Chains A and B, each alone.
Chain A
Amino acid sequence: MNNALAIASVVVKELYRRKDFYVLFVLTALITLLMGSLNFFNDDKIVRYLKEICLLLIWISALTIAVGTTARQIPAERENRTIFPLLAKPISRGQLVAGKFLGCWLACGLVLIVFYLFFGVISASREHQWAAASYFQALWLHWWMLAVVVAMALLGSVVFAAPSSNATICLVVILGILLMGRHLNQVALQLAEPMNTVVYAIYFALPHLELFDVRDLVVHNWDPINWLVCGGATLYAAAYAVFFLFATWLVFRRQPLA
């Protein structure tokens, strides 16, 4: 664990010393503040649209940071040859994978806290109320969804040589799951065999990331979801993250580095 945490601390340092996060945060803040300064048709419910846009920007930014940061970790170590002095130390490849995952996931957590704080301040300034439990659940589930995304991108980084192709494939798969995942069973019903079974198998096998999208809770100020359901979703994400990390280790452990 010590080794994994040491690597994670370097990943977190890398994130806050690079410009990616600051650029995305400034862009999100600018767009949100610009939208917030406008007043269409004197509609007092317009703040919901503002919240919806701000949350969408947060989701896009967080996904970009998670996939972009993770996809380059191991390939950059190889390309810059920093992996050689690192693995020449008493550290296993499993610890390296665990450290990279922890670092990227913790970095995503810090990014989410900054984004959600900004979002909270903006919406509270307009609505004069703050549904803390709903906000916490939205942030918590978002962070756990990113655990699956980070683990998936890490697996891609040991399979695909170029970080750009890994990032593109990951983003397409993630967007596909977010947009299409919940409809796949209905698609399967309309198909003949064997495609029916194939699509059903995909439906049950893929991680349903859309389950973690509870933005409506904070947009419409709904009551928080049942905490047991929230806990179940956390376990579901943890199981998928562990599966992807195990697969990453299986691929990486025997890969020649030179």
Chain B
Amino acid sequence: MKPILKIQDLVVEYRTHEFGQKVKLAVNRLSLEVFPGEIFGFLGPNGAGKTTTMNVLLGFVPASRGAAYIFNVNVREPIARQRIGYLPELTYYYKFLTAEELLRFYARIFRIPAAEADRRIDEVLKLVELDAVRKRPIKTYSKGMQQRVGLAQALINNPDLLILDEPTSGLDPIGRMKVRQIIQRLKSQGKTVFFSSHELGEVETVCDRVAILHQGELRAMGRVSDLEEKYKCNLEQAFLKVVGYEPGL
């Protein structure tokens, strides 16, 4: 089976303005593959390089070395993003637009025909349960509702690959449950989901495979059950062992 997402020897360096330190290594020789229909968890403590890797995948940050491909297209090409949906960690959208206008704007960028766009807008707004407030400006939405608008925009083009950066960050338990349900529903539709999260219980529930990143390097990768078996503990404890955290220190 051909991977839908492929990262090869990816290196990302940042120039820092700190005295005596010119280059900071954010990601170091990362290689991984994600296959169609998989839910892939991308884990790591803060500053591990997860968001930087996603930023490279989305073309926000150039790779210093190595390459990344989505659907066999180098991520430097805008067309690589035609069949993906992306939900950023902190979602803010144009406050002066309504959810419906926002989705119509993004649908236009994907060149979705008007009738098809109307159908997709109805569908995704129902899926994220924002159908009743679709005509209200986004500035009147709660944080959870804004996160769901984010999910709706990520789904507007019926993507084959979803890249979600901490999709449940800052949500209350009900909001988290709803997002989790949506991810599981997408899985049942055969979609591929690549997502980062700090919620290891959630990752354990929904992910087929995970990769654990620490200080920019890939420390572990495999099926959740395989990692649990290898480290003889649950995912949370395995994660702590992989990143070298010792309780009590």
Contacts and interface: CB of A to CB of B under 8 A. Distances in A.
Contacts of B80: 90
B81 interface: yes
B105 A84 contact: no
A18 B90 CA distance: 24
Contacts, number: 76
Nearest to B106: A89
A57 B154 CA distance: 45
Contacts of B82: 90
A196 interface: no
Most buried by A among B87, B92, B111: B92
Contact of B105 (A10, A80, A254): A10
Interface stretch (B28-36, B59-67, B209-217, B223-231): B59-67
A52 B57 CA distance: 56
A84 B86 contact: yes
Nearest to B137: A17
Interface residues of B, number: 35
Given A3-B109, A10-B105, A84 B58 contact: yes
A13 B102 CA distance: 11
A67 B212 CA distance: 47
A90 B106 CA distance: 10
A75 to B, nearest CB: 14
Contact of B88 (A14, A81, A90): A81
Most buried by A among B52, B79, B86: B86
Interface in B82-133: 82, 84, 86-88, 90-94, 96-97, 101, 105-106, 108-111
A258 B111 contact: no
Interface in A52-103: 80-82, 84-92
Contacts of B109: 2-3, 6, 86, 89-91
Contact of B59 (A80, A82, A87): A87
A102 to B, nearest CB: 14
A243 to B, nearest CB: 24
Most buried by B among A6, A10, A85: A85
Given A13-B96, A81-B92, A82-B92, A90 B62 contact: no
B96 A87 contact: no
B108 A258 contact: no
Given A90-B79, A91-B78, A85 B96 contact: no
A82 B61 contact: no
Contacts of A81: 88, 90-92
Contacts of A84: 58, 60, 86, 88
A256 interface: yes
Most buried by A among B84, B94, B101, B154: B94
A6 B102 CA distance: 11
A34 interface: no
B78 A85 contact: no
A85 B110 contact: no
A257 B86 CA distance: 15
Contact of B150 (A3, A85, A257): A85
Contacts of A88: 58-59, 81, 84, 86, 88, 163
A257 B92 contact: no
Given A2-B111, A82-B94, A89-B81, A257 B105 contact: no
B159 to A, nearest CB: 10
28 contacts: A2-B109, A3-B109, A6-B105, A6-B108, A13-B101, A14-B94, A14-B96, A80-B92, A81-B90, A82-B93, A84-B58, A85-B87, A85-B93, A85-B150, A86-B109, A87-B59, A88-B58, A88-B81, A89-B109, A90-B80, A90-B81, A90-B110, A256-B62, A257-B55, A257-B60, A258-B52, A258-B55, A258-B61
Instruction: Report the 7 A-B pairs with minimum CB-CB distance, sorted nearest first.
Output: A88-B86, A6-B108, A257-B60, A17-B96, A80-B92, A84-B88, A90-B82
Given A84-B58, A84-B60, 19 more contacts: A2-B111, A6-B105, A9-B105, A10-B94, A14-B94, A17-B96, A81-B88, A82-B92, A85-B91, A85-B153, A88-B58, A88-B59, A88-B88, A88-B163, A90-B78, A92-B78, A256-B60, A258-B55, A258-B60
